[in-house]
Chains A and B, each alone.
Chain A
Amino acid sequence: MTFILPIEHFGEEDRAQVGGKAFALASLWKAGFTVPKALCITTDVYDRYVSSTGLRERILMEIHRKAFTDMRWEEMWDASLRIRNMFVSTPLPKPLKDTLGDIIDASFKKYPVAVRSSAPGEDSDRASFAGLHESYVNVRGPSVILEHVLKVWSSLWSDAALLYRKELGLDPEKSTMAVVIQEMVFGDRSGVAFCRSPMDPSQAVIESVYGLNQGLVDGAVEPDRWVLDRISGKILSHTNPRRDLWVAPAQDGAVLEDLPTKKAPHPPLNDEEVEEVYRTAMALEKHFGSPQDVEWTFRDGRLYLLQSRPITTGTGAETRDDRSWYLSLSRSFKNLKALRQKIEEDLIPAILREASDLESITLETLPSEELCHEIERRSLIHKKWVEIYWSEFIPFAHGARLFGQVYNDAVHPSDPYEFMSLLMATEMESLKRNRLLEDLARDIRENSELRQVLEAGDPADADSSFLKRLDDFVSNYGQVICQSPSLTACRVSVCGILLRMAAVRTTSVARKDISALTEKFLSYFEGKKRGEATEMLDLARASYRLRDDDNIYLGRIESELDRAIALAETLLIADSAMEKDQRPYEELIARVKQKVYVPHSAVQATTEDENFLVRPRQLTGQPAGPGLGEGPARVVLKVSDLTEFQSGEILVCDAVDPAMTFVVPLCGGIVERRGGMLIHGAIIARAYGLPCVTGVPDVTTLIKTGDRITVDGYLGIVIVGLGETP
């Protein structure tokens, strides 16, 4: 068994053990190219680590929790987060750590290194994993280097890598990874070269930035770009970017900084240097026998090659596009900051304005033709916001995800979701709304006269101060809850809920001492890094808050469309005596309704027939809120099902939508078909400290209202029945 090999000792027989990247570097070294000194930790070490620590099976249990096809990518991301935490919190066995540590120490002492993935088969001309597995730069000292090796290994199980491998038909159970430890070359200019442009096969492309390559590779720094003729090497064009940032080495790792002003006016490479990179890249193509994608850096005028891999041919453009989609699953901090600004400064004010405008229109007085136009208009507005929801709001959820990773890497908590308590520091709209509801319910609980008035059915008879608060609530949040255009009807619906809440002591949102937790987290960072960590936490909080608020905002637009449709339907019923061609709304309503976004539950086949009866006993989902809850199930498929909701019931639904969360204080637990830690239901459940399991396939058909169920939010399972054996 070979644990660690210097690249100059590789033979052809080592290829499978050292992975594509390390093997290519060794090949370059042998051919006399300038490459930094490097060692490779072979796949044997990975295999021994995951076997001897029991991690291999823990990982497989995690990814086999559900059928792959039943998993949403958000669930993959949760599974990846848990797996990553397993690696970070499972140390290398001591003998292995000592052996590797001694060799690393002898080779690099305290000098900084880059730690890079090198998975077998990762860079072939069929598939490119470029960017899917992690690399770290400027890492010092054997024990810190080995900690980073664990992180590189864990990236074998990132959601992006899992999805991509699945798509290529590679078996995740067989995947393994070698790691290259490479002397750090602090280049003053760095970049990539493509021997053959993905856009035009007659051209080559060179991109370059000041400082380290990280900025270019993760998209944080916009590069200078030269397009060259592939045969002659003649420069055909040069694109000047804004050139305002660079990635510079920090005490450990690297930081994104403003580019020194004296560098900004000049491209990082002059024409001779562009030519040198081009010539070297073409020599690599000749050496490997296929066009290459090369990472390089200049230090003190000398060109170093950091890695070289074949350009993916595959099925052409498609393959590249898919990988870039998977890559887009992780977003850079800079990118998220820009997205936050856009969302907070433009999109949210715009959606609120649009919702208020729609709410202020009196539809009842519109002539029928205008009502038709209004429905069309509302349908388009709604469609526009659904698109923005998917393209802008949802990706912003990565802010919370990015923070989770930073938190887990720094703190090494035993609960991989510990970071979420820090995110809940800010008030979400639905919690604000529920607190108002709880206040009103408390008044009813404490005032029997008021309760009797409300029980009699007409809230208008209540005392004026209560009525004013009720009406304020109805005008702010009522549309989402009762979905009726009439104030009176809304008052009655809200009072129905309030009376039920008043009858029991409901769960309130736990308020935690966030400042101590925040300080604990920040104490892991010093100097500039502390500033970055603070900023990242702030971004994550904004991202987390939006995961809930966006649903409420979109819900307001949606209920305005519904209001217009409901009115048209009423008129349609009134006009039923008319001739078909004189009924203006019928076709319109049918058409518009089809487009309305409602999270429908999938239609499932019944599980009963004359032969035998299938009953779920224990269903597996994802743990989304720790705790154990037991009670009768209430299956909620539409908002009107909520009117029956009784205190202590377990809410079972397709996806908790904002219109449902007001019953949460009455719940004993939450079970959702849709999965993911950062979905609305999971967030609300955690805020209330309720047990929650998400991502349970077919749950709304497998469980019936009234079934006794147990929600195990620690393990992510739902148990049906009390265990009686027939």
Chain B
Amino acid sequence: MNDKDNLNRELTHLLNSQRLAALATHHSGQPYASLVSFAATPDLRQLLFATTRSTRKYANLSSDPRAAMLLDNRSNEETDIHSAIAVTATGTVWELSNYERTKALSLYLAKHPYLEEFVNAPSCALFKLTIRTYYLVTRFQNVVEIHMPL
């Protein structure tokens, strides 16, 4: 599991197969977690998600763009303990606009076509989380850090 090709494959598969992730933000040091629909860019450097501008997470990110996202393949069974894979991604969140938004939007909607109306609403913002580090947990206790280039 520590071999790099395997890691890459495992991470890619997890990011492409999962639809939802828990996003962690904070307000004045108080952590806050929320569920978001996400999509990964092919180079795995960014995770895209959308939220309306009136949400608590939007407010939190506006004051501090640092965030973490947790995603995993658990099935809510006991066997998850040894067989589930979880990844925590840490980095910084930016709202997308213009050309970058258009490009990201088609990627995002390819994964979540049912969200088209939601994302295109004027009150909705599309974000990218630029990953600094992934923390990949397998076999319950095996943890590997994957540091992305700056």
A: residues with CB less than 8 A from B are 54, 56-57, 60-61, 64-67, 173, 605, 607, 609-620, 697-698, 702, 715, 717, 725-726
**B135-A697 in contact (CB<8A):** no
Query: Sorted from nearest, which 9 A-B pairs have the closest CB atoms?
Result: A618-B143, A617-B143, A64-B82, A613-B147, A615-B145, A57-B78, A61-B82, A620-B142, A617-B145
A-B contact pairs, 26 of them (CB 8 A): A57-B78, A60-B79, A60-B81, A61-B140, A64-B83, A64-B140, A65-B140, A607-B4, A611-B149, A612-B147, A613-B146, A614-B145, A614-B146, A614-B147, A615-B146, A616-B2, A616-B143, A617-B135, A617-B144, A618-B142, A620-B142, A698-B2, A715-B141, A725-B133, A726-B90, A726-B133
Rounded to whole Å, the gap between the CB of A205 and the closest CB of chain B is 45
**B144-A616 in contact (CB<8A):** yes
Q: Which of A60, A614, A616 contacts B4 (CB 8 A)?
A: A614
A224–B13 Cα gap in the complex (Å)? 61
Given the complex, which residues of A lie within 8 Å of B133, measured CB to CB? 725-726
B: number of interface residues (CB 8 Å): 25
Given the complex, which residues of A lie within 8 Å of B3, measured CB to CB? 605
B110 within 8 A of A: no
A22–B133 Cα gap in the complex (Å)? 56
**A614-B142 in contact (CB<8A):** no
Q: Using a CB-CB cutoff of 8 Å, which residues 78-118 of chain B contact chain A? A: 78-79, 81-83, 90
Knowing A607-B2, A611-B149, A702-B2 are in contact, say whether A620-B81 is a contact too (CB < 8 A).
Answer: no
Q: B-side binding surface: helix, strand, loop or mixed? A: mixed
Rounded to whole Å, the gap between the CB of A622 and the closest CB of chain B is 12
Given the complex, which residues of B lie within 8 Å of A64, measured CB to CB? 82-83, 139-140
Q: Which of A57, A607, A612, A615 contacts B149 (CB 8 A)?
A: A612
* Extra inter-chain contacts (7) besides given A54-B78, A610-B149, A615-B145, CB under 8 Å: A60-B79, A60-B81, A65-B139, A65-B141, A616-B145, A697-B2, A726-B90
Knowing A61-B82, A612-B147, A726-B133 are in contact, say whether A605-B142 is a contact too (CB < 8 A).
Answer: no
* Closest B residue by C-beta to A616: B144
**A66-B78 in contact (CB<8A):** no
Knowing A57-B79, A64-B82, A702-B2 are in contact, say whether A717-B141 is a contact too (CB < 8 A).
Answer: yes
Rounded to whole Å, the gap between the CB of A702 and the closest CB of chain B is 6
B26 within 8 A of A: no
**B4-A605 in contact (CB<8A):** yes
**A726-B132 in contact (CB<8A):** yes
**A56-B147 in contact (CB<8A):** no
Given the complex, which residues of A lie within 8 Å of B59, measured CB to CB? none
**B144-A614 in contact (CB<8A):** yes
A715–B135 Cα gap in the complex (Å)? 20
* Closest B residue by C-beta to A606: B4
Given the complex, which residues of B lie within 8 Å of A56, measured CB to CB? 78
Q: Using a CB-CB cutoff of 8 Å, which residues 25-60 of chain B contact chain A? A: none
Rounded to whole Å, the gap between the CB of B54 and the closest CB of chain A is 30
A54–B90 Cα gap in the complex (Å)? 34
Q: Which of B7, B81, B140 contacts A614 (CB 8 A)?
A: B7
* Closest B residue by C-beta to A617: B143
Given the complex, which residues of A lie within 8 Å of B145, measured CB to CB? 614-617
Knowing A607-B4, A614-B7, A615-B144 are in contact, say whether A620-B139 is a contact too (CB < 8 A).
Answer: yes
**A618-B141 in contact (CB<8A):** yes
A313–B77 Cα gap in the complex (Å)? 39
Rounded to whole Å, the gap between the CB of B95 and the closest CB of chain A is 23
Rounded to whole Å, the gap between the CB of A90 and the closest CB of chain B is 15
A613–B148 Cα gap in the complex (Å)? 7
Given the complex, which residues of B lie within 8 Å of A61, measured CB to CB? 81-82, 140
Q: Which of B1, B82, B143 contacts A60 (CB 8 A)?
A: B82
Given the complex, which residues of A lie within 8 Å of B132, measured CB to CB? 726
**B148-A620 in contact (CB<8A):** no
Knowing A607-B4, A725-B133 are in contact, say whether A619-B149 is a contact too (CB < 8 A).
Answer: no
Knowing A56-B78, A613-B147 are in contact, say whether A67-B1 is a contact too (CB < 8 A).
Answer: yes
* Closest B residue by C-beta to A54: B78
Given the complex, which residues of B lie within 8 Å of A65, measured CB to CB? 139-141
* Closest A residue by C-beta to B7: A614
* Closest A residue by C-beta to B2: A698
**B147-A726 in contact (CB<8A):** yes
Rounded to whole Å, the gap between the CB of A715 and the closest CB of chain B is 7
Given the complex, which residues of A lie within 8 Å of B2, measured CB to CB? 607, 614, 616, 619, 697-698, 702
Given the complex, which residues of A lie within 8 Å of B147, measured CB to CB? 612-615, 726
Which of A54, A66, A620, A698 is most buried by chain B, counting CB atoms within 10 A of its CB? A620
Rounded to whole Å, the gap between the CB of A492 and the closest CB of chain B is 40
A702–B1 Cα gap in the complex (Å)? 12
A312–B141 Cα gap in the complex (Å)? 40
A697–B79 Cα gap in the complex (Å)? 24
Given the complex, which residues of B lie within 8 Å of A697, measured CB to CB? 2
Given the complex, which residues of A lie within 8 Å of B81, measured CB to CB? 57, 60-61
* Closest B residue by C-beta to A60: B82
Given the complex, which residues of A lie within 8 Å of B141, measured CB to CB? 65, 618, 620, 715, 717
* Closest B residue by C-beta to A64: B82
Q: Mark B117-150, 1 if CB is under 8 A from A, else 0.
A: 0000000000000001101000111111111110
Given the complex, which residues of B lie within 8 Å of A611, measured CB to CB? 149
**A612-B146 in contact (CB<8A):** yes
A618–B146 Cα gap in the complex (Å)? 13
Given the complex, which residues of B lie within 8 Å of A607, measured CB to CB? 2, 4
Given the complex, which residues of B lie within 8 Å of A698, measured CB to CB? 2
* Closest B residue by C-beta to A611: B149
A135–B83 Cα gap in the complex (Å)? 32
Which of A61, A605, A616, A702 is most buried by chain B, counting CB atoms within 10 A of its CB? A61
* Closest A residue by C-beta to B132: A726
Rounded to whole Å, the gap between the CB of B136 and the closest CB of chain A is 9
A613–B8 Cα gap in the complex (Å)? 11
Which of A54, A609, A614 is most buried by chain B, counting CB atoms within 10 A of its CB? A614
Given the complex, which residues of A lie within 8 Å of B135, measured CB to CB? 617
Given the complex, which residues of B lie within 8 Å of A173, measured CB to CB? 79
Rounded to whole Å, the gap between the CB of B41 and the closest CB of chain A is 14
* Closest A residue by C-beta to B137: A618
Given the complex, which residues of B lie within 8 Å of A612, measured CB to CB? 146-149
A191–B45 Cα gap in the complex (Å)? 68
Rounded to whole Å, the gap between the CB of A76 and the closest CB of chain B is 16
